[in-house]
Structure 1
Amino acid sequence: MNQEIDFQPVLLGSDINVYGMARSFHQEYGVKSVAIGKGILGPCTASKIVTVEVVEPNLEDDQVFVKTLLDFAKRYEGSGKKLLLVPCGDNYIKLLVRNQEKLRGTYVFECISEELLMRLSIKESFYQVCTEHGFAFPKTTTCSYENYKNVELPFDFPVIIKPSNSVAYWNCRFPHKKKVFVAQSREEFSAILEAIYSSSYKDHLILQEYIPGDDSNMRVMNCYCGRDGKVKLIALGNALLEEHSPEGIGSYAAIINGYDEKLNQQMKNFLEGIGYVGFANFDMKYDHRDGTYKLFEMNLRQGRSSYYVTAAGYNLAKWLVDDVLYHKDMECTVAKNKVLWTIIPLKIIFDYVKSESVKAEAKALIKAGKVCHSYYYEGDRSLKRWVHYKKNQFHYFEKYKRYFGNKGLRD
């Protein structure tokens, strides 16, 4: 750890992703992060390692975003500290990319162009990019507000239904809303589409074939690409369980680090081929029918569960700082260490994971002391935080009991 830190991490958001990055910064540099967001969420509540310094409900407005960040930076004038800006959500990375020229010089950061952002953030164009680079993905079609009542599906049920525009979908409201739906029949399919388009959401929907297999077939990969457009870090994770609450479907709840040389090289070639810069996060599922990984989506940031990378000994904050602030020469590192990362109680893992081999690997890691809970950090303990942590863990038992396996239009 450096004796004197010449930078201040400024994180955008206040969710578990923000807390994971703050924990990474604190572990590596002993520095307390500050955050700016639309609100203060549970993970950053009563924390000693990150403080949400600005709450601005209208932060997704471009003018408000720029003004808020420029005003906040004035607090550090004369401090000699560089402000390292780290977006931790889809909305924030889009805001940063659109307004990057207005913030450069005040904040230190690297990000992609707006043109590349549009190609990668809209799922239809993302799948086109995937095709160009040889990635497999589920059979996919789309529908729109104009044609959803008459859409024809080129594959059988079950069908996955998810938004093309995740930011617009996040801001809409309707009964029984879920982050992702799975329709088992044409009748259920029609009802879900009707519910979505009865809300403020009017953008396209992605309709995909369902890839067989439970949560343990999901894979997540986090990568970091340097200022020079070269991949510096690759870290694969094998999911044990996902969250199953309406707002959490598709988010990982427990992960063990994995390794796949062929996939690592394919992802490296892809990112360097498109000229990517910064953190990238990929969701995919292993398809036992043909032995391939089917790529679902790419997030233009570190993933919500990305602390599993730091937990295994590859501190995400260090890669970012060494590249963006200190301009160090860095070779590509492929993560091979293993740890059991979780945000849920261990009992839930063993109650709901079906695969005996996966449970055996988890037990072995626990026995070896290689287990990490994102919310629980020795460097961030207090009575208030402990109470919040225990409540959070208790509620997961209720959520899994109520929602496990429910991806339909019902509670």
Structure 2
Amino acid sequence: MSEPPAHASAPRAASAPRPVVVGGDIGAYATARAFHEAYGVRTVVLATLATGAVARSRIVDLRIVPDLADPDVLVETLRGIAAEPGGPPLVLGSADWLVQQLVAERHRLEDVLVVPYAPAPVVDAIGDKAELMARCAAAGVPHPATRVLVPGRDDHTGALVGYPQVLKAASTSEIHDVSYTGKAKVHLVHTPDELDAVLAAMAAARFSGRVLAQEYVPGGDDAMGAVNVFCAPRAGGGGDVTFAQLGQVLLEDHTPSALGNSVAQLTRDARAEPGALETITAVGELLREAGWVGFANVDLKRGPDGVWRVLEVNPRVGRSGFAVTASGYNVARMYVDAFGPRAPRADAGNSAAPTPHLELGVHEHLFTLVPLALLRRYLDPAQRRQVSALRRRGAVTNPLYYAAERDPRRWAYVVAAMVNQVRKFRRHHPWSRAGRTRAAQPT
């Protein structure tokens, strides 16, 4: 798979950043690759085990910490890294709950390293889907009709807007370690009995957190979108939106535990997508008013009415956030420019300074975690032609395909990972189970 020339790694500078990522998934590797491309540095990755995504990599300094979920262990480990030669490390979380853990322990870390996130109350509020939907309603930001339930406690009768409905926990971190029969990231229920069954299973597992029951917005994978928004910290606190880029999802993961995760995404110029820029502007203002800083990954869905609705906000640059880097806007540089040693101090200067210019990502680029042959199976003819054109232009990137890697065992893992994607889609994608492809679907 071809890579644009701009992705060559830069020579390491004397004042190079010291990135640390907590979590060992593919998102951690994508972040490490962004830093390596921009600065030629290796990223320290802390993980509980050596996952294939980050193992045997030339760009990753992998350190196994079995008790990483223990806040005291996390703090001790990070402070130990900070004591090593070099400037203050910049630490990032590769999952929502890890970001929340970092911001919760910021008071024990910020004297020796940089935690480039909003204050914990802001991260918790925006990351809570129930709170987010309430804020969207108050600000007039498009979102699905929503009611909030508590398993085992509420009367679940009464129609929301009819069925089907989407059921999901308000807090990803609260349900992270909860196991119940039929657990999925998102449940699609078609009847009141199905809704009650899911809530009963949650209650039986002693989950008492809030659950969202939302209207189902019709549309396939390609009706999904994601906006990566960056808010640079400003003097006096909070942040200003300085970058935003729309990504149109072409294909999502359909395994129950990862349902809705993007595996192929096309970055787009939001100005050319009717209604997208309006929603991006509205959600950017919502984040600014909340006091957000750093990256936010905003999940959207375009309804049959053409309106892009906000589904959730992840408090980090997601794994599909590498689409931003691949399209020419390196996320590592954004972090370093805003939070590095040469960045303006948040407690200095005039808090009434002019709002920085918003840069809108406009370059078209395909980010994929699956083989192109597999992706094409689930695209319509027009999308296939578009993918072929992007490939001819060298505008296709799989973050795992990185020429800087040399270890044959790592490349064997990459091949195995792609084969596993084929197996997963054969097993879980509804069209595969029905023996059909996109080309056979009615328009």
TM-score, with length taken from structure 2: 0.85
Q: Which residue of 2 aligns with 1:62?
A: 71
- Write the distance in 1 (CA, Å) between the matches of 2:376 and 2:330: 28
- Write the distance in 2 (CA, Å) between the matches of 1:210 and 1:247: 19
Q: Which SS does the other structure have where 2:257 is aligned?
A: coil
Structure 1, 368-377 or 166-175: larger mean CA deviation: 166-175
Q: Aligned ranges for residues 396-407 of structure 1 at < 5 Å?
A: 396-405=421-430
**Candidates 320, 323, 333, aligned match of 2:338:** 323
Alignment deviations for residues 274-324 of structure 1 (CA, whole Å, 9 cap, x no partner): 221111110010012x22111100011111210000000100000101111
Q: Which SS does the other structure have where 2:118 is aligned?
A: coil
Shift of 1:14: 0.8
Q: Which residue of 1 aligns with 2:294?
A: 278
8 Å Cα contact 2:151-2:210 kept in structure 1: yes
Structure 1, 208-217 or 150-159: larger mean CA deviation: 150-159
Gaps of 5+ in 1: 407-411
Alignment deviations for residues 341-396 of structure 1 (CA, whole Å, 9 cap, x no partner): 1001111211123x433333222112222110121111123211111111111111
**Candidates 48, 51, 55, aligned match of 1:38:** 48
- Write the distance in 2 (CA, Å) between the matches of 1:350 and 1:149: 45
Shift of 1:201: 2.6
Q: Which residue of 1 aligns with 2:349?
A: none
8 Å Cα contact 1:242-1:253 kept in structure 2: yes
Q: Which SS does the other structure have where 2:34 is aligned?
A: helix
Which residue type is aligned with residue 258 of structure 1?
A: R
Q: Which residue of 1 aligns with 2:408?
A: 383
- Write the distance in 1 (CA, Å) between the matches of 2:229 and 2:406: 30
- Write the distance in 1 (CA, Å) between the matches of 2:317 and 2:20: 15
Q: Which SS does the other structure have where 1:230 is aligned?
A: strand
8 Å Cα contact 2:184-2:259 kept in structure 1: yes
Shift of 1:237: 0.2
- Write the distance in 1 (CA, Å) between the matches of 2:210 and 2:367: 34
Gaps of 5+ in 2: 1-9, 272-276, 345-355, 432-443
CA distance 1:200–1:399, shift in 2 (3 Å): farther
Q: Aligned ranges for residues 325-364 of structure 1 at < 5 Å?
A: 325-328=340-343, 331-353=357-379, 355-364=380-389
Q: Within the alignment, does 1:193 sit opposite 2:199 as a pair?
A: yes
Count how many residue pairs are aligned between Structure 1 and Structure 2. Answer: 400
Q: Aligned ranges for residues 215-364 of structure 1 at < 5 Å?
A: 215-228=221-234, 229-261=239-271, 262-263=277-278, 264-288=280-304, 290-328=305-343, 331-353=357-379, 355-364=380-389
- Write the distance in 2 (CA, Å) between the matches of 1:160 and 1:356: 30
Shift of 1:185: 2.6
Shift of 1:222: 0.6
- Write the distance in 2 (CA, Å) between the matches of 1:163 and 1:42: 29
8 Å Cα contact 2:269-2:364 kept in structure 1: no
Q: Which residue of 1 aligns with 2:114?
A: 108
Q: Which SS does the other structure have where 2:267 is aligned?
A: strand
Q: Which SS does the other structure have where 2:301 is aligned?
A: strand
Shift of 1:148: 5.1
Alignment deviations for residues 137-157 of structure 1 (CA, whole Å, 9 cap, x no partner): 111112112335644331211
Alignment deviations for residues 77-105 of structure 1 (CA, whole Å, 9 cap, x no partner): xx233211122211121112112121112
8 Å Cα contact 2:99-2:316 kept in structure 1: yes
8 Å Cα contact 1:281-1:299 kept in structure 2: yes
Q: Which residue of 2 aligns with 1:368?
A: 393
Shift of 1:200: 4.4
> How much is the aligned-residue C-alpha RMSD, in angstroms?
1.9
- Write the distance in 1 (CA, Å) between the matches of 2:13 and 2:149: 56
- Write the distance in 1 (CA, Å) between the matches of 2:77 and 2:365: 38
Runs of 4+ residues deviating >6 angstroms: none
TM-score, with length taken from structure 1: 0.92
Shift of 1:208: 1.0
Q: Within the alignment, does 1:122 sit opposite 2:147 as a pair?
A: no
